[in-house]
A and B are shown apart, each in its own frame.
Chain A
Amino acid sequence: MRHRKLTGYNWTVFIILAVGSIVMAFPFIWMILSSFKTTADVYAYPPRWIPSSWDWHNYSEVFRMIPFFRYYFNSIYTSVAQTLLEITLSVTAAFALSKLRFPGRNFLINLIRSTMFVPMIVTLIPLYLLVSRAGWIDTYRGIILPQIFSAFTIFLLMSFFVTVPNDLLDSAKLDGCGYYRILTKVIIPNSMTAIGTAVMFSFLGHWKSYTWPLIITNKTNYRTLPIGLKYLVQESSSEYQVMMAASVMAILPVLIVFMFSEKQLVRSVTLTGLKS
């Protein structure tokens, strides 16, 4: 194996990247260190980097204060279900809106786009009323279904689907493919980078969703992790070290999703910079 000699330029790039990496990794390192700290350590000034004692007490405190595993299961269950449904809905919608021509298409696109300008708090109460009338309070359906439409995901996918050459679609049609097979055999395989990115954004959004699950659930059995995390801190005096311990454990599924979709995400970012 041939080793390239590090030039001055390379060293400069290396140092810049190393500094950037440290800056990006800093919140995670701080979170992990804080999860072992005492209250005095957390509020110490100047900041105390290394905990005065490495104590697992904060982790046991999380399990004492909230039904962590129940919340964990609920978060995984609802986030995975919401992501799957949202991606399915968004892929089909994006395909129809980007590749098919039908009356009212532009109106539909503008209608979907307009939903991006309405803050969630405005729709919260009407949505609650609908879900309440359907009898979905304190149900997984109530948490999952109202949150599976995302204009952002549809437009993200549309922007990739339009780059798939129409010639490919025409060839598929000549070979006897219907819309379903065109979508599954042509569009999706050629857009895996975009779909991977959409999966990651979608999962992250649902994983950290707080307000809707809080509003729609009253029973512990249906509550998700962000509600549990919020319970660990109070308005007046916060035990941040306990919240950090819970956050360390809560971040694991997100890291797993990121590890699986990282390659797609990086490729999608690269592709957006290419000219056809």
Chain B
Amino acid sequence: MKKLVLCMAVLLVAGSLLYATGAAEQTPKTTPRPAVVKLQVWYAMSGASGEMFVKQAKEFDDARADIELELTYSGSYADTATKVSAALLSGNAPDVAVMAAGQLYSGERGDFSMEQLIEDPEFNKNDIFEGMWEYAKYEGRIASVPYGISTQVLYYNKKIIDKAGIDLSNPPKTWHEFLAIAKQAQQRGNATNSSDFWGFDTSDGVWLIKSMLYQNGNKVVDKQGENIVPVFQDAKGIEVATFWKRLVDEGVMPSAQHNNAEKKFLAGNLAFIAASSNRISRWTTSDTVELGAIPMPSFTQRSLALGGNGIVILTQNEHNRQAGWELIKHLTKTENQTAFALGTGYLPIRKSALDSQIVKDSLATNPNYKVAFDQLATTWAYMHFGEMGSMDANFWYALDEIEKNVLTPAEAMDKAAKALLKEME
């Protein structure tokens, strides 16, 4: 539901962004550099993530006498989308923002200067996983830098799996193999004889279906000429939607109850759950579930859609842009970004992180991290575009209608595609 709220917020502000395109200045200002560049930074991270980010940003602030940071917590991802949209329209936008889908804000204004900035040899762009760069693109061009990134991981409750007599040392490779195992877990693993016991569910169906689509050779959206068009309604997409329906029809996954999936899992009423990788740390220390994790199954190719936030530079002032870039370099240094990621539940964005001591320590204390780290090489992001919030909302409705048997998989996917096309027009 959080995701849907974010989608709706992004949808609402998309119109404003079009206006902002005209309102924002496109030519960088060339003025003498002040002795101290004041850099406004908004960040959409709270709790432990917010604290960790502020700590690292302040380290940069202390180390640089020529740059002064003004850090502002900008609320949730959806709140930040609204706040940034309003600020862009009125010319009060921050210099830098750490937010979800930040590339929409620079990309829609035709600002792809990040492509030049990342060529900085000190930054080493090739050290960042390829899939992460896809996540930082707007309509195929890099417009932000990935930062707090996560993927979904397939977790399981060890007690249930043991009771069902399932051996996961050789985990299922395909979703069809997994369906058989989840069914087995449901039939034999219900230790408490609960009437609300299930084999599998996900806390974020929209996120998972996008991974599944790509795993089945469907790119979700594609570029035709100058236009981006939905392709998730093609035969490959319908195959995935039909499998989704099978999960419900065969009684393995409850219908339209994704909001309760995590509660069910922690209550011991769910054998498998596909949930964000940032749950590893919290659930491992939980005394309610003995946690295990296996690689996410696939259809024809291994792949996982990314989620999370990135860093975007919004200012057109050349000195502030440069200061913003210096901050990004500091935050995304291997040691800083890896410490941030592991301290907050996100995943490292750099390949070199996997050789770092902090990652080795994490693997030693928590083997479940290995599953998430191994998946990094197969991460993927669909092409980002202005109406992607609207697309996610349409996916949500499509899955709901499939699960409730209101529409056939083909009808639901077709309806979602038509709604998206209408929105784009």
Contacts and interface: CB of A to CB of B under 8 A. Distances in A.
A43 B345 contact: no
Given A43-B288, A45-B288, A121-B12, A236 B75 contact: no
Given A45-B268, A232-B47, A235-B2, A215 B82 contact: yes
6 contacts: A43-B266, A211-B82, A219-B72, A232-B47, A236-B276, A239-B48
A215 B83 contact: yes
Interface string B75-107: 111010011011101111000000000000000
Interface in A200-247: 211, 214-215, 218-219, 227, 230-239
A174 interface: no
A124 B87 CA distance: 11
B282 interface: yes
A43 B286 contact: yes
A122 B8 CA distance: 12
B83 A214 contact: yes
Interface residues of B, number: 48
A223 B82 CA distance: 17
Nearest to B3: A235
Interface string B356-371: 0000000000000000
B195 to A, nearest CB: 16
B301 interface: no
Given A121-B82, A215-B82, A237 B73 contact: no
Interface stretch (A129-137, A165-173, A254-262): A129-137
A138 to B, nearest CB: 10
Contact of A235 (B16, B76, B86, B90): B76
Q: Closest 10 CB pairs between A and B?
A: A234-B47, A132-B90, A128-B86, A236-B278, A218-B72, A45-B267, A231-B46, A234-B46, A45-B288, A125-B86
Given A44-B287, A227-B73, A239-B47, A129 B266 contact: no
Given A215-B79, A218-B70, A234-B47, 4 more contacts: A214-B75, A214-B83, A219-B72, A234-B49
A274 interface: no
A227 B75 contact: yes
Given A132-B90, A231-B50, A237-B279, A125 B75 contact: no
B72 to A, nearest CB: 4
A236 B345 contact: yes
Contacts of A236: 49, 150, 276, 278-279, 344-346
Nearest to B73: A231
Interface of A: 39-40, 43-46, 65, 121-122, 124-125, 128-129, 132-133, 137, 211, 214-215, 218-219, 227, 230-239
B400 to A, nearest CB: 22
Interface of B: 2, 9, 12-13, 16, 40, 42, 45-51, 70, 72-77, 79, 82-83, 85-87, 89-92, 150, 263, 266-268, 276, 278-279, 281-282, 285-288, 344-346
B48 A234 contact: yes
Contacts of B267: 45-46
A233 B46 contact: yes
A211 B47 CA distance: 18
A125 B85 contact: yes
Contact of A218 (B40, B288, B346): B40
A238 B50 CA distance: 12
Contact of B79 (A132, A214, A232): A214
A45 B16 CA distance: 45
Contact of B48 (A43, A44, A46, A237): A237
Contact of A125 (B16, B48, B266, B287): B16
B47 A233 contact: yes
Nearest to A211: B79
Nearest to B19: A125
Nearest to B148: A236
A44 B150 contact: no
Nearest to B75: A214
A128 B82 CA distance: 11
B36 to A, nearest CB: 18
Contacts of B344: 234, 236-237
Contacts of B45: 234
With most chain A CB atoms within 10 A of its CB, the pick from B2, B40, B42, B92 is B92
Contacts of A237: 47-48, 278-279, 281-282, 344-345
A5 B96 CA distance: 72
Contacts of B266: 43, 45
With most chain A CB atoms within 10 A of its CB, the pick from B40, B74, B346 is B74
A133 B46 contact: no
Contacts of B90: 128-129, 132-133
Given A137-B92, A236-B150, A239-B48, A40 B285 contact: yes
Contacts of A233: 46-47
Contacts of A124: 82, 86
A71 B285 CA distance: 33
A232 B47 CA distance: 5
Nearest to B277: A236
A122 B13 CA distance: 10
Nearest to B40: A218
With most chain B CB atoms within 10 A of its CB, the pick from A227, A231, A234, A236 is A236
A189 B342 CA distance: 62
B277 to A, nearest CB: 9
B404 to A, nearest CB: 27
Contacts of A238: 47
Nearest to B262: A43
A245 to B, nearest CB: 14
Nearest to A242: B47
A153 to B, nearest CB: 25
B405 to A, nearest CB: 31
B86 A215 contact: yes
A233 B49 CA distance: 10
B188 to A, nearest CB: 22
Given A124-B82, A214-B79, A234-B46, A40 B92 contact: no
